[in-house]
Amino acid sequence: MSTTSLRQDLTTFVDEDGAYTDVHLPKALASWPWPRRVNPHYESVKQQASAWCESFQAFNPQAQDAFNKCDFTGYRVCCDMMNLFFCIDEITDLSPSDAVRSQVDIVMDAIRHPHRPRPFGEWVIGEMARQFWANAALIASPTAQARFIDSCQTYLDALVQQAEDREKGHIRLVEDYFTVRRGSIGAAPSITIGALYLNIPQEAFDHPVISKLTEICVDMIIIGNDICSYKVEWERGDEGHNLVTVIMQQFRVDVQHAMHHIANLHDCLFNRFLEHWRRIPLFGGPVDSEIRTYCNMLANWVRANDSWSFEGGRYFGDKGREIQTTRLVRLTGIRGEKKISTSCRG
C-alpha cells in the first residue's frame, strides 16, 4: 500500500503557506480520576538535573536548546532517568540499527557495572548512564534494582528492533506493534524508578491483577504518546513506529479515522484499569500499603505522560497548552515517499 493510498480520505486544504490537514486528537483522559499534580521539589531538582544532563554535551547547541525546552517532573533520580532516556531516544531515532545496537550495549554495560570507569573516547551516554545508575542504586531497594536492570534491557533491545523496522520500512500489525512498543516506550523501567523505595516481593508483582494493571498502564502511555508524537514524526518522515500509522495501514483508514479507532481502544483500557483497580488484592502486612502506593503511581504515570506531552514542548513547541484545549493539530507540508512499507506483515 502506498503512502498516498493510506491518506486518500484526508481532507487537505491549501492556504498561502501551502497544503495542510487538520486532525482532532482524542480527549482520552477527560474523566481520569487522577488529576495533574506537580512534585513540590520540581523547580530545584529540575535545575540540578538539567545542569547534570548538559554537562555531558551530548547534543550540539541548537539541539540542546530544543531539549532544554522539555520539562521533566519528579525527584532527582527520576529526572536523571528521564534525561538519560530522552538522550538515548533522540540519538537512536537517527541512527542505523547496527549503531543503535552498539549504543545500547554501551548503556547496558554501564548500568550493569556502575562502579567501573568507562573506556576513554567511548560514546558519552555510557558515562551518563553509569553516573545515573550509580546514584540511583544507592537508594533503590534490591527488588527494584533487579527489576530496573531487566526492564532496561528489554527497553534497549526494543530500540534496536525499532531501528531495524525503520530501515526496512516495516510497519507491524497492531498486536505485534504493541509487543515491541511496550519495550521501546521505556515505560517499564520508568515505572520501576518511580517505585524505587518500594520493596515489593516478585510474587506480588506477578499477581494477575497487579501485572494486568501494569500492562494497561503501559498501553495507555503508548496511546497517549503516539497520538501526541504523530505530528512531529509525520513532519520528519519517521511515523512508521507509531500506532496511528499502524492502524491506518492495517485497517486502510485515514489519520482521523485512526484517531477515532485509538480513542475507542483507549476507552476500553480506561475501563479495564478501573475494573482491575477495584480488585487489587491483599497480601497482608506492609506489602498491602506498598502495593497501593505502586498502583497509585501507575495511574499517576498515565496522567503525567499526558500532561508532559502537551506542556513539555517536544511535540507541540509553544502551542501545547492551546492544542491541549482545542485538540486540533495541523499536519503541514507535502512530502515524498517516506519509510512507509507497501506490505503489512505481522
Has residue 301 been placed in a domain? yes
Does one domain contain both 189 and 288?
Answer: yes
Does one domain contain both 202 and 293?
Answer: yes
Does one domain contain both 110 and 216?
Answer: no
> What global pTM score does this model have?
0.82
- Which residue stretches of the chain are H helix? 3-6, 42-54, 61-68, 76-92, 97-112, 124-136, 142-168, 174-184, 187-194, 202-205, 208-235, 243-251, 255-277, 287-311, 320-326
237: pLDDT strictly greater than 90: no
Domain hosting residue 73, numbered range = 41-139
- Joined grid coordinates for residue 49: 538535573
Does one domain contain both 152 and 91?
Answer: no
Has residue 134 been placed in a domain? yes
d(CA 222, CA 39): 23
- The alpha carbon dihedral of 246, 249, 255, 258 has a sign of negative
Q: What is the pLDDT of residue 342?
A: 28
The percent of residues above 90 in pLDDT, for the chain, comes to 64
Paired strand residues for 171: 344
* Residue that is written with C-alpha cell 515491541 in the block: 180
Bigger pLDDT: 52 vs 3: 52
- Residue 318 DSSP label: G
Of 108, 123, 139, which residue constitutes the final position of a domain? 139
d(CA 138, CA 142): 10
Paired strand residues for 140: none
5: pLDDT strictly greater than 50: no
Exposed e or buried b for every residue in 73-106, given b needs 16+ CB within 10 A?
A: bbbbbbbbbbbbbbbbbbbbbebebeebbebbeb
Of 84, 113, 139, which residue constitutes the final position of a domain? 139
- The alpha carbon dihedral of 47, 53, 56, 58 has a sign of negative
CATH number of the domain that 220 lies in?
A: 1.10.600.10
Domain count, the chain: 2
d(CA 266, CA 219): 8
Does one domain contain both 109 and 250?
Answer: no
d(CA 35, CA 33): 6
pLDDT tens, position by position, 255-292:
999 999 999 999 999 999 999 999 999 999 999 999 99
Residue 39 banded pLDDT, cuts 50, 70, 90: low
> Mean pLDDT across the stretch 63-77?
49
pLDDT tens, position by position, 75-97:
678 888 888 998 898 889 889 99
Interior CA angle at 238 toward 154 and 91, to 5°?
55
Does one domain contain both 206 and 106?
Answer: no
Of 86, 106, 139, which residue constitutes the final position of a domain? 139
Strands 328-332 and 18-24: antiparallel
Q: Are 180 and 121 in contact (CB under 8 A)?
A: no
Write down the mean pLDDT value for the chain.
84
Q: Which range among 84-88, 114-118, 244-248 shows the weakest confidence by mean pLDDT? A: 84-88
